[in-house]
Amino acid sequence: MRITNSMITNGMMLNINRNANSLNRYYAMLSTGKKISVPSDDPLLASRALKFRTNVAETEQYIKNVSQGISWMEVTEGAYRNVNNILFKIRELAARGSTDTLTYEDRQKIMTDVSSLVEQIGLEMNATYAGRYVFSGYRTDQPPVLAEDDANLSYEDITQKFSAADVQFTKVYERDLGALSGPADDPPTNSDSVVREVAVIKLAYTDLENPAGYTTVSLNDPAVADPYTPGNYIKETGEIVLAVRDPNADPPEPAFGTALDILQTATGFDAATGTATLQYDKTGFKRGELNPQIYFDCIDRTPGSPTNGDRFNPGGAFQDFEYEFSVNTRVSVNSNAGNSFTDKMYADYQSIAGIFDYMNMNTKEQITSTFRQLQPGLTAEQLEDAVAKEMQKIQDCAQRRFSDLLGFCDKHISVVGVEHTDVGSRMSRLELIQARLEDDRVNYMKLMSDNEDADYADAIMRINSLEAVYQASLKTGGSIMQLTLADYI
């Protein structure tokens, strides 16, 4: 084969370009710090680089999720810590109020403090993280406890379920000073006021109208002789009366049956599940009351509401708010108000407050004035004896109510303690996940670096070698391509 000058020139130019491209590639390595600039430089290395970068990006996002989840739980844990402290303070007050050395006025003052502390529990349940309510499940824009009065707020079919454990036994004071026992001219022995033992369940709201077919009565209605009659709903306390007994009756009334026996008389009792289901409507809510959207299976009927007609919490299920922390690893970061500041807890405290509001109307001075009007001929000693007997009935009921409150506190402290512990356990798990993700990020970054980053020492050595080759090829090309006379012919 005959080699021409053109062939030599083309071959020389091809080699010069190859040398220039090789030299340029290593110059690019030094300037970018990467082994390749475009995928065509090394397709296999480029595909691995994409995989490692994806792994790093995913891991960094998971680390952000963990950080946000831990921050969310820290807010929750702080709220639980405060609620625990409040409950212990209420318990201390209840223990003080249940002693028999206090006057009724002392107990009234204690109850005022308890009411303030219960309101503070509601504020703790409205804790927020980044503007979102942490105890509200998916509806992070809704507070668990209403912060303002709203007369237009309306819900229907608010559903509460009760088990035998929700049946409570306590004492109630039913005042009747209209008649004193014995002839009017005899020294009074007692009024017709009574302290009864009752079995009740408690709805979450007061001032309802005939919920679930029960009859609404008021403790302050003089036309109602016996408010605590089975089938009544006490509007001041939210209590539904299931059974009543008077241990002072003649003959004494028999003792209560079991809690399950009593619950069977409640509306909506299901023998298969051993629970009673009650539904009711409510229009108009007060500050500090539970938000039905968060707590109950209910339907919004608020005029003009964007959720008018929507059903919330079908079946009464609470929502878990989950973050993803790795592939197929999701952890709930929230706690639900309905599992901690439960509707039963709220009802317990508001019923105590309601009964004390009623008792507050029965002061020693007011009862003394009533007795004077009924029997103006009583001597000072007789009047003092009659008032003392009446106040003893109130004291007996008030002391029992504080004993009940002490039991409520122990039960609710246990419930909150379980939820608090659960948050701590999930926080510990997230901290372990966070440590693992940090290790994964370091490993992926090392793999990505080994795959992509240029070896500067090797690149400089190769550049020196390639520059020498390139300069030699240019020099050789210059010799081959010298002009002759023939180039001008």
The DSSP element (H or E) to which 158 belongs, if any, is strand 150-162
The long-range contacts involving 4-12, CB below 8 angstroms and separated by at least 24 positions, are 8/480, 9/480, 9/481, 12/473, 12/476, 12/477, 12/480, 12/481
Rounded to an integer, what distance in angstroms lies between the CA atom of residue 344 and that of residue 350? 10
Q: 3-class DSSP state for residue 320?
A: coil
The DSSP element (H or E) to which 415 belongs, if any, is helix 380-452
The DSSP element (H or E) to which 134 belongs, if any, is none
Q: 3-class DSSP state for residue 297?
A: strand
The domain locations on the chain are 133-401
Q: Are 295 and 343 in contact (CB under 8 A)?
A: yes
Q: Are 424 and 77 in contact (CB under 8 A)?
A: yes
Note the pLDDT tens digit of each residue in 166-191. Answer: 999 988 877 776 655 545 545 555 67
pLDDT at 96 over 60: yes
Q: Are 93 and 110 in contact (CB under 8 A)?
A: yes
Q: Give the per-residue pLDDT at 319.
A: 77
Confidence band for 329, pLDDT divided at 50, 70 and 90 = confident
Confidence band for 45, pLDDT divided at 50, 70 and 90 = confident
Rounded to an integer, what distance in angstroms lies between the CA atom of residue 405 and that of residue 347? 12
Q: Give the per-residue pLDDT at 81.
A: 92
Distances (CA, A) of 268 to 31, 163, 214, 238, 295: 79, 11, 12, 18, 19
Rounded to an integer, what distance in angstroms lies between the CA atom of residue 107 and that of residue 436? 55
| Mean pLDDT score, 227-247 | 90
| Mean pLDDT score, 336-352 | 86
Q: Give the per-residue pLDDT at 190.
A: 61
* Lowest-confidence pick of 55-59, 61-65, 302-306, 390-394: 390-394
| Mean pLDDT score, 33-62 | 79
Q: 3-class DSSP state for residue 311?
A: strand
Q: Give the per-residue pLDDT at 328.
A: 78
Percent of the chain with pLDDT over 90: 31
| Mean pLDDT score, 84-93 | 91
Percent of the chain with pLDDT over 70: 86
Q: Are 241 and 228 in contact (CB under 8 A)?
A: yes
* Lowest-confidence pick of 104-108, 228-232, 415-419: 104-108
Rounded to an integer, what distance in angstroms lies between the CA atom of residue 384 and that of residue 431? 67
Rounded to an integer, what distance in angstroms lies between the CA atom of residue 463 and that of residue 28? 11
DSSP secondary-structure letter at 238?
Answer: T
Rounded to an integer, what distance in angstroms lies between the CA atom of residue 398 and that of residue 173? 9
Q: How is residue 265 written in tokens?
A: 């008389």
pTM score: 0.78
Determine how β-strand 275-285 pairs with β-strand 269-270. Answer: antiparallel
* Lowest-confidence pick of 37-51, 117-131, 271-285, 332-346: 37-51
Confidence band for 488, pLDDT divided at 50, 70 and 90 = very low
Q: 3-class DSSP state for residue 332?
A: strand
Q: Are 426 and 333 in contact (CB under 8 A)?
A: yes
| Mean pLDDT score, 223-229 | 84
Instruction: Give me the residues paired with residue 488 across strands.
Output: none
Instruction: Give me the residues paired with residue 217 across strands.
Output: 234
For the chain, give the mean pLDDT.
83
Q: Are 300 and 152 in contact (CB under 8 A)?
A: no
Handedness of CA 174, 176, 180, 181 (dihedral sign): negative
The DSSP element (H or E) to which 133 belongs, if any, is strand 132-133
- Indicate the residue type of 196: R
Q: How is residue 230 written in tokens?
A: 């089975």
Rounded to an integer, what distance in angstroms lies between the CA atom of residue 255 and that of residue 272? 26
Note the pLDDT tens digit of each residue in 447-483. Answer: 877 777 666 676 677 767 767 776 777 777 766 666 5
What do you get for the CA distance between the two ends of the chain, in Å?
A: 26
Closest residue by Cα to residue 312 from 138, 91, 448, 153: 138
Confidence band for 150, pLDDT divided at 50, 70 and 90 = very high
- Indicate the residue type of 104: Y
Q: How is residue 296 written in tokens?
A: 């109950």
